[in-house]
Amino acid sequence: MNLRRRSDKEIKERGASQWAVAWRRFKKHRSGLVGLGMIIVLLTIAAFHNVIAPYPARPHPDAFKPLYEGESAQPPSWKHPFGTTVMGTDVFSEVIHGSIYTIYVAVAVTIISMALSVGVGIVSGYFGRLVDDVLMRITEVFLVFPSLLFILLFSRIYQLGVAEPFWNVFGIKIPVGLTIVVVIVSIFGWASYARVIRGEVLRMKECEFIQAAKSLGASSRWIMLRHIFPNILPQVIVLATLTMASAVLVEAAVSFLGFGDPNTITWGRLMEESLQDLSTVWWAEVFPGLAVFLTVLAFNLVGDGLSDALNPRLRE
C-alpha cells in the first residue's frame, strides 16, 4: 500500500462551506450581479464624492457658482449633466454628495433594525411561552402603529430640539438630524422582520441537531448563538438587503415631505426643494428621483439574487 504522508495544507483543505456554495450560485445569478455592480458604483461614488462632483457640497459658497455665472435653472448640458436648480446649484454634484447620506441611512437603519429584530425573533422563538407572548405583543404594538405618521411626528419634534447640526466622531461629521430619522425609522421598521425571524427560529428549533446540542449540555445562549443564529443567517441577510432598500425609500419620503434633517442635503431633500419649480425645472426632480429608484432597485436585485443563492431547496 502506498501511504504518502500528506502535507498539512492538504489535510487542512476544507470542504465547500455553505457560503462558498452560495457565492458560486450568486455568481451565476445575472440580475443579482447587476444589482451588486450598481451598489459597487454607488459605494465608489460615495467614497470619492468630493473628487467626482464638479461643485462642492452646500453650505460651501462655491456650491452656488452656477448662479454667479448666470446659469441657474439650466437644462441638462455637458457642463451640468443633470441641469441646475432655480437657486443655482448643480444637480449632478448635489446628487453625488447625497449618495453618502443614502448609504449612511441604508446601513445604519439595517444594523439597528436587524439587531432588534434578530434579537427579539430569536429569543421569542427559542424560549416560547411567556417570553414569546410578551415579546410578540410588543412587536404587534409596533406593527399596528401608523408608522409613517409617527416617523414624521417624531422627526419634527426632535429636529426642533437639536442644538448642533453635526456630531464630530473621529473626524467624521455625523448629521444629528439624519441620525434621529435613522433611529426613528429603525424603531418603527423592525417589527415585521422580527416576526419572520421568529418563524424561522420555530422551524429551526425542531431540528434534531438542536436537540442533540441540548443533550450534550449546550446552554440556551450557546444554542442560540452557535446553532440557531448561523442557520437563520441566510434569511437575515436577505431581509437586510430588503431593509436597505426600504430604508432608502422611507428616508427619501420623509425628506421629501419636509420632515428630514434641514442640515443634510439628501436626495429626498433635493426633490423637496425644487418641487415648486417642477413645471419648468423638471430635471431637478427627475435625477434625484432616478438616483433613489436605481439604488432601491439595486438593493432589491441583490436581495433577490441572495435569496436564490442562499435557498437550500434550490441547491444543485
Residues that bind another protein (CB under 8 A): 6, 11-18, 128-129, 207-209, 211-219, 222, 226-227, 230-231
Q: What whole-number distance in Å separates Cα of residue 104 and Cα of residue 69?
A: 33
Count the Cβ atoms, other than its own, within 10 Å of residue 48: 11
Report the nearest approach of another protein to the CB of residue 122 (Å): 16
Report the nearest approach of another protein to the CB of residue 311 (Å): 14
Cβ-count burial 196-230 (b if 16+ within 10 Å, e if not): bbbebbeebbeeeebeebeeeebeeeebbeebbbe
Q: What whole-number distance in Å separates Cα of residue 242 and Cα of residue 117?
A: 14
Q: Judged by CB, which is closer to another protein: 75, or 230?
A: 230
Q: Judged by CB, which is closer to another protein: 127, or 145?
A: 127
Q: Judged by CB, which is closer to another protein: 37, or 230?
A: 230
Q: Judged by CB, which is closer to another protein: 14, or 51?
A: 14
Residues 6+ apart with CB under 8 A from 153: none
HSE-CB of 287 using CA atoms within 13 angstroms: 22
Report the nearest approach of another protein to the CB of residue 201 (Å): 14
Cα torsion angle, 126, 129, 134, 138, sign = positive
Task: For the chain, report the end-to-end CA distance as a whole number of angstroms.
Answer: 36
Report the nearest approach of another protein to the CB of residue 117 (Å): 21
Q: Judged by CB, which is closer to another protein: 11, or 51?
A: 11
Report the nearest approach of another protein to the CB of residue 214 (Å): 5
Q: Judged by CB, which is closer to another protein: 32, or 234?
A: 234
Q: What whole-number distance in Å separates Cα of residue 1 and Cα of residue 4?
A: 9
Q: Which grid coordinates belong to 66?
A: 452656477
Q: What whole-number distance in Å separates Cα of residue 250 and Cα of residue 237?
A: 20
Report the nearest approach of another protein to the CB of residue 218 (Å): 6
21 close to 290: Cβ distance less than 8 angstroms: no
Q: Judged by CB, which is closer to another protein: 34, or 233?
A: 233
Report the nearest approach of another protein to the CB of residue 160 (Å): 48
